[in-house]
Structure 1
Amino acid sequence: MAKQVDVVIIGAGAAGLMCAAQAGKRGRSVLVVDHGKKPGRKILISGGGKCNFTNYDVTANNFVCQNPHFVKSALSQYSQWEFIGMVAEHGITYEERDHGQLFCLDSAKDIVAMLLKECDMPNIMQQYQVEVAEIEKTSTGFRLLLNTEWVECQSLVVATGGLSMPKLGATPFGYQIAEQFGLKRVTTCAGLVPFTLHKEDKAAFEPLSGIAIPVRAETEDGTSFSENLLFTHRGLSGPVVLQVSSYWQPGQKVTIDLLPSESLPEVLDAMRDKHPNQSLKTALSRLLPKRFVEALIERGDIKDKPLKQFNPKELAALGDYFHQWPIAPNGTEGYRTAEVTLGGVDTDELSSKTMEAKQVSGLYFVGEVMDVSGWLGGYNFQWAWSSGYVAGMNC
């Protein structure tokens, strides 16, 4: 005889636990299963162990999705303010960092503990190290083989996450479930991920590893972000690179304004008036890291000579170069270091109001498994809370 519950949730991450808590509060009997040993693994390592759990400023514009309107309903049903209220209710102290990002003052463990406390009800059960061996549709819902036990439920919620950070146990299982039930998928790739460089660029910039520069970076589709660029042993990283990586396509170049708050021709013109014999290298080293300037000279990208030898046309060309520095990434570091997965279950297959599959009654998808990816800054967690809440209120 199969065990009976109202709701089975596959995945004990941010979205899955949020969904369980809401369904439990409605009096539903809930079983949360996960193939890992413990809940909230991605939460625990996020934000350097401090968990950037949401942002003061959340709109649909902060998400990458083939249907940009899809996120609006869930974000309005459960906004950042509701989650901040829950955090405060549990006595968790937090701080605001740049761009409205909110982090735990103490530890990401506080967020996991809060979610587990919210799920601490007699009608919510959790099981770990569970293999979901089979899923069948029945006339009343679903039948699942969990390890060696059959369980029947009315509603099935898929909260399996994406493919990013495979060390934490990421798998394509959620996409396989979608496929089994005939739901379309948007092609997946790594998002919020560092760039790797072509051989010559890597050789030139690898020695600069650890140097950061505040820049504005723009992709070929016109999307731009202003943040720090970080040189690494493998290529380019830092917040600005992670952000633009979600809008970059292989083979495209990224244009970087290395001096977003200056007009280089004007600055060099003024420097030339005061110190005409000063070299370009010395002048640029007042504005940018010296080692970076030296690397550009060594590559022959710019020519070092006294400022007095530059005519207006050459100064304008320097301005074009530094304000529109072109870099063509070789690729990305992939899912290994990606913070999120782009693509996933096609949102056209789902109700934006409930997260239920339009063609499969009782089947829900929440969080990163679907084609919704947030910017860096707490937006992916907010999507987990919002989509998890909405599914929990309906499953």
Structure 2
Amino acid sequence: MTQPFDAIILGAGAAGLMCAIEAGKRGRRVAVLELADRPGKKILISGGGRCNFTNIHCRPENFLSANPHFAKSALARYTPEHFLALIKKHNIAYHEKTLGQLFCDHSSRQILDMLLAECADAGVEIIVGTRTEQVEHAGRFTLCTSKGIFNSPALAVATGGLSIPKMGATSFGYDIARQFGINIVPTRPALVPLTLSSEDCTKLRDLTGVSTEVIASIGRQRFREKLLITHRGLSGPAILQISSYWTRSKSLELDLAPEKQLFTPMLSTSAGRDATRAASLLRDTMPQRLADRLITLAAPASWTNHAIQQLETKFHRWPVTPSGTEGYDKAEVTAGGIDTNELSSTTMECKRIPGLYFIGEVVDVTGHLGGFNFQWAWASGAAAGRSL
């Protein structure tokens, strides 16, 4: 038997559940089909288990897209304050961490339970463990699945990107887009650790786990946060942020001592002009082992005023050429995706295929680290849910 609904949503993640809530509140009969055996698996692991559910400083500039203006409409109509109203309605305790990031005081489970409660109140039917095998369109959408046949005039694709495949990520959303001839901006891992060449790794491998504050930059993009040395390269918030803007063969620069003059004391005297003195000054800024290693790598042949000034410049513009990334396995999100030129920025509906919507990570809108990707999920899901 075919099961008819007013709207079908593929994916019970953040965007899919928000979309279902908004559509259900408008009296629509909504089914959410989820491949995994339970909804919201990425919500549960986010933010170290405490879910960085939004950022109070959310602005369009916090998002990367081939069309930087596309996200403005949805973000303006569903803001962090709207989501906070939902948080407060359900009496979920939260706190601000750094740079406007909001986390649950207790568990990310609270966010998922809140969304599921809102779905239940709106009469949404969530069907887990459902593999969609075929999508057909002839005026209405017909989905042949492992749980039967579903039929609806509206279909919202909220299947996510390719990041963290062990959590069930697949290319299914992109496959649907290709089926309907919808353009896809090439995808790549984003918010992902960067790898270094074996030669560069050898220089730093015994410093694995060492962290320091830096400014990582590519062109006009600059992020001041922590850098972490790993056994394969570099990670930490600063690196994850800049990775979304990195492409192969590009270099990035690290300011290893933001807003500090490191070696100025060496210019005022002829004594103590050597690597030992330089390392001693550097230790005031970063961990000792890292300071000693970097001086070893960068020490000039002679300690003239000019050489010391060049050393100062290098520590504020230290060049790094990654060999690659840790890939989708370690990426927090997927950059690229459904071309926003194909979608209405107001409703997320396909311009050429009425009734077909794409929301969340599957779309070519990628947020910075710090709650922005959740805010895009809430905003794009709400935009579609109010239109289904």
Q: TM-score range by the shorter chain?
A: over 0.9
The residue aligned with 2:107 is 107
Q: Secondary structure at the match of 1:119?
A: helix
Residue 315 of structure 1: how far off its partner (Å): 1.3
User: Retained in 2: the 8 A contact 1:297–1:303?
Assistant: no
1:202-260: per-residue Cα shift (whole Å, max 9, x none)? 011111111111111111x3211111111111110010000000001111111111111
Residue 274 of structure 1: how far off its partner (Å): 8.6
Residue 171 of structure 1: how far off its partner (Å): 0.2
Residue 290 of structure 1: how far off its partner (Å): 2.1
The residue aligned with 2:260 is 262
1:95 aligns to 2:88 (yes or no): no
Q: How does 1:241-256 map onto structure 2 within 5 Å?
A: 241-256=239-254
CA–CA distance in 2 between the matches of 1:74 and 1:281? Answer: 50
Residue 276 of structure 1: how far off its partner (Å): 6.2
1:74-124: per-residue Cα shift (whole Å, max 9, x none)? 011111110011101110000001100000000000000000000014731
CA–CA distance in 1 between the matches of 2:224 and 2:81? Answer: 26
The residue aligned with 1:9 is 9
User: Retained in 2: the 8 A contact 1:8–1:30?
Assistant: yes
CA–CA distance in 2 between the matches of 1:58 and 1:321? Answer: 33
User: Retained in 2: the 8 A contact 1:52–1:377?
Assistant: yes
**RMSD between superposed Cα atoms in Å:** 1.6
The residue aligned with 1:226 is 224
Counterpart AA for 2:347 = T
User: Retained in 1: the 8 A contact 2:215–2:223?
Assistant: yes
The residue aligned with 2:84 is 84
1:28 aligns to 2:21 (yes or no): no
1:24-50: per-residue Cα shift (whole Å, max 9, x none)? 000000010111010110010000000
CA–CA distance in 2 between the matches of 1:287 and 1:185? Answer: 44
Q: Secondary structure at the match of 2:153?
A: strand
1:353-375: per-residue Cα shift (whole Å, max 9, x none)? 00000000100011000100000
1:357 aligns to 2:350 (yes or no): yes
Residue 287 of structure 1: how far off its partner (Å): 2.9
Residue 294 of structure 1: how far off its partner (Å): 2.7
User: Retained in 2: the 8 A contact 1:197–1:330?
Assistant: yes
Identity, % of aligned pairs? 46
Q: How does 1:1-395 map onto structure 2 within 5 Å?
A: 1-121=1-121, 123-139=123-139, 141-147=140-146, 149-219=148-218, 221-269=219-267, 272=269, 279-299=277-297, 301-303=298-300, 310-395=303-388
**How many equivalent residue pairs?**
387
Q: Which sections of structure 2, spanning at least 5 residues, go unmatched?
A: none
Q: Secondary structure at the match of 1:98?
A: coil
Query: Given the two structures, how large is their TM-score scaled by the length of structure 2?
Result: 0.96
User: Retained in 1: the 8 A contact 2:263–2:278?
Assistant: no
CA–CA distance in 2 between the matches of 1:337 and 1:238? Answer: 12
Residue 302 of structure 1: how far off its partner (Å): 1.5
CA–CA distance in 2 between the matches of 1:269 and 1:364? Answer: 63
CA–CA distance in 2 between the matches of 1:279 and 1:77? Answer: 56
Closer/same/farther in 2, CA of residues 4 and 231 from structure 1, 3 Å limit: same
Query: Given the two structures, how large is their TM-score scaled by the length of structure 1?
Result: 0.95
Residue 292 of structure 1: how far off its partner (Å): 1.6
